[in-house]
Structure 1
């Protein structure tokens, strides 16, 4: 009989701390790093040697990626939420040895680990806070003059609550599709060729 605790443990991805990942990289035994953030986020900052495979691209091409990910893989995003979704998608496709960088790029950078930097841009989570906060603020003010307008802010609050409980974010997924966040489209064939060449 499966207990609730074992179900939770089975659904929680294995993690690797930034310090442990740094030690593995220094020993020359570092795992493959797949960064599942948007290309725009990746260009702003990423771990040296990481491959950018945005979450949507990873889900779409996971069968092609499997043949080239036969060793340890660590999945990276900003905080760990998207990486956990990527872990689930790859695990369902049959890939073992998956881990998620604990705390994502936020924890990696806070630890003082090396980072390749590019043009600065707002992170996706900061954009979500700006949009959600602005909508709530505007509808709250408008609600003083237009009865019922405040309900839009209530709907945004409900959406953010659901996002936290489900560990997903519809607003974030929509914002990720904007040209500002997309950056250059990830060429999955080039990523697979790089994975094959480095094997």
Structure 2
């Protein structure tokens, strides 16, 4: 059976045992809760993992997951450019959890990490407010901060990328420990 390019949470739940699930979020987001058995290969490390993902795709079907489905769609396109077929989870872990799906967390993980989309909204909104306030009370040139963020958000929407998310993903709270890509790839290989 050929896997569709997107699965809804109920479809994925019914087939979870036969899928190799790869979570492309940051290690911090992954630690906050992921699909059972999901492997963490952050989107920015996908290229390094490509040979092992290709081998896993030859053995079975790959499901890519993120918080909302946007990053996993980008990952699917990247893999497709390299001849690797994979599907994305429609609505990501948010839809999975909303549909009653369990999320695993590493042992001892008691703190919740905000999803990247929420972090971007907080940061963008804060910088816009700061630019407006400083522009009003300090110097009008500070309004350029707000204009810069607005331009960045438009660019992000048009290109379906997010530079702010890339920067925020490198902050310590989003990388509670570095993703152990070597160990993850060994698990992907079945070692």
Q: TM-score, normalised by structure 1?
A: 0.85
- Give the alignment's Cα RMSD to 1 decimal: 1.6
Checking the alignment, whether the CA contact within 8 Å between 1:59 and 1:86 is kept in structure 2 is: no
**Equivalent residue for 2:189?**
196
Instruction: Give the 4+ runs in structure 1 shifted more than 4 A.
Output: none
Question: Any unmatched runs of 5+ in structure 1?
Answer: 1-12
Equivalent residue in structure 2 for 1:92, among 77, 81, 98: 81
**Equivalent residue for 2:122?**
130
Equivalent residue in structure 1 for 2:89, among 58, 81, 101: 101
Checking the alignment, whether the CA contact within 8 Å between 2:52 and 2:188 is kept in structure 1 is: no
Say which SS state the counterpart of residue 57 (structure 2) adopts. coil
Question: Any unmatched runs of 5+ in structure 2?
Answer: none
Q: Does 1:63 align with 2:55?
A: no
Q: TM-score, normalised by structure 2?
A: 0.89
Following the alignment from structure 1 to structure 2, what is the Cα–Cα distance between the partners of residues 121 and 80?
A: 18
Following the alignment from structure 2 to structure 1, what is the Cα–Cα distance between the partners of residues 6 and 56?
A: 21
Checking the alignment, whether the CA contact within 8 Å between 1:80 and 1:101 is kept in structure 2 is: yes
Question: Equivalences for 1:1-199 in 2 at 5 Å?
Answer: 14-25=5-16, 28=17, 30-70=18-58, 71-96=60-85, 98-117=86-105, 118=109, 119-145=111-137, 146-197=139-190
